[in-house]
Chains A and B, each alone.
Chain A
Amino acid sequence: MSQTVKVLIPSALRPQTDNQATLELPGQSIAEVLAALTAKFPELGKRLFKTENELNRFINVYVNDEDIRFIDNLNTPVKAGDEVSIVPAIAGG
């Protein structure tokens, strides 16, 4: 049985996930989890990725509250029970 992680979808992207706010997806790295996500919802993939291996720069991905850019970008490993959040870019205050 492959491990799954919880993926949180922001409201701006829920139209592309049949309005589901959380999904359980398989993968051992962020790249694999997002590949599973875009295989299931191709329209979402077009919004998440600028090119095949490059995330849209206005999308941030976190694993358990840590930005993947501080870990290993798309190669960031994930394990069962991890929480992956997809969040639009941070604006100032």
Chain B
Amino acid sequence: MILPFESRLSLGRRLKMSYVAHLRCKECGKTYPLTPRTVCDVDFAPVEVDYHYDRMQGNVTRASIEAGPRSLWRYKDLLPIEGQPQAGLRSGFTPLFKAERLAAELGVKELYIKDDSANYPSFSYKDRVVAVAITKAKEFGFDTVGCASTGNLAHSVAAHAAAAGMKAFVMIPHDLEEGKIIGTLVFGPKMVKIQGNYDDVNRLCTQIADKYGWAIVNVNLRPYYTEGAKTHGFEIAEQLGWKLPQHTVVPVAGGTILPKIYKAYQEFIKLGIVEDNGPRMYAAQAAGCNPVVDAIEKGLELFKPQKPNTIAKSIAIGNPADGFYVQQVIKNSGGWGAAATDAEILDAIKLLARTEGVFTEPAGGTTLACAIKLIQSGKIPANESITVCITGNGLKTIEVLQGQFVTAPAIPAKLAAFDEVVAFYEEQAAAAVSAS
């Protein structure tokens, strides 16, 4: 029986073929099938997932996204999975809000915070990339997942692996913050502390992936894993009312997120889901590890690797594999970059908490501190829309705020003693006002 056209169209949509096409080298363009892969065989450049955007036209729309679940999987059609999601079913869809008090303090008109410190289940943007990676690991038939991590990834992999019933090995630099270590161990992974920095850990993990045949999410599943970062950008656009911010400030560690947020914006533009208002991207790094921003500021074609020395450990990657692509996006979008000292990072953490009630970790402090510098220098106009991307939660890095706060000593449970404390705090506040 031949179905009428409308029924055939509807049936086709229900049987929906995946929109995922192949992997493609970002440098030489060589294509590869959709199997685990770290880099291109020819030139070791990163490989990217390509999609059948032509098939998406008219099918992937605002309406189709709005009909999806209240999680990052509402953007499933633009993610590299073949079947149904198998991890991170409650991840993503984090708050984006207008930061009125912070904007007033900075003297800007329209400032938004995209808050992945609230992500689920591990309170960082990593839940996005891990949700995709674990789904792919299951699709490929792996039973063990692993990662090289500066902390947030290990936490996320451990949590998602536990929920997905997979074994997990997490490799971290030995001096990571205690909160991240304990918060990861509770999910039951095997943790290996490496005597070195993150670059040393990652180097070892490429050898582990080779030898043990595990799904090291940010090594041999990297092309799929990184696509999850796009959902941070998709959500920004949807939550702003299907509009792109004119300026987006993003922390740069390995260089994954910033180009992927830009890719997300460009995919929405290509599909006619948002208008192209020429969104500009800005790189934020710590002054103690700023290879990409240094290259941007000096107009270098290629960044020079550095040895990290900063409290912002989660973005302390001295030799970022995707650093060149961050430079490219900054140049193509007309953006810029800035770097913040450790003192500026801590001040920004406190500022965000004090004005908007959001407690972020040093990576988030870095992003806000750099946004402030870019606004003060005029690189980001004060009267245009700005989104600051907060990628992790401050409760995991409590140590960095040791000694930052003054409180009154403990008092007996007497009202008179309490009155003295109130007077103490009023004197402090008055002293702070006259000092400024």
Contact = CB atoms under 8 A, between A and B. Distances in A.
Interface in B26-71: 27, 38-39, 41-46
Interface stretch (B148-156, B344-352, B392-400): B148-156
A90 B307 CA distance: 13
A67 B305 contact: yes
Contact of B45 (A10, A11, A58): A58
Nearest to B211: A11
Contacts of B360: none
A42 interface: no
A11 B203 contact: no
A12 B304 CA distance: 24
B147 A90 contact: no
Chain B interface extent, by class = 35 or more
Interface in B284-315: 302, 304-305, 307
A87 B222 CA distance: 16
Given A10-B210, A57-B302, A58-B321, A92 B38 contact: no
Question: Interface residues of A: mostly helix, strand, loop or mixed?
Answer: mixed
Contacts of B321: 58, 88-92
Contacts of A90: 198-199, 202-203, 254, 317, 319-321
Most B CB within 10 A of own CB, among A11, A62, A87, A88: A88
A60 interface: yes
Interface in B120-150: 147-150
A84 to B, nearest CB: 13
Given A11-B210, A87-B203, A88-B38, A93 B319 contact: no
Chain A interface extent, by class = 20 to 34
Contacts of A18: none
Contacts of A60: 203, 319
Nearest to A10: B206
28 contacts: A10-B207, A56-B43, A56-B44, A57-B324, A58-B43, A60-B319, A65-B196, A67-B305, A69-B304, A69-B305, A70-B307, A87-B203, A87-B206, A88-B39, A88-B206, A89-B39, A89-B44, A89-B319, A90-B202, A90-B321, A91-B202, A91-B254, A92-B254, A92-B255, A92-B256, A93-B153, A93-B201, A93-B218
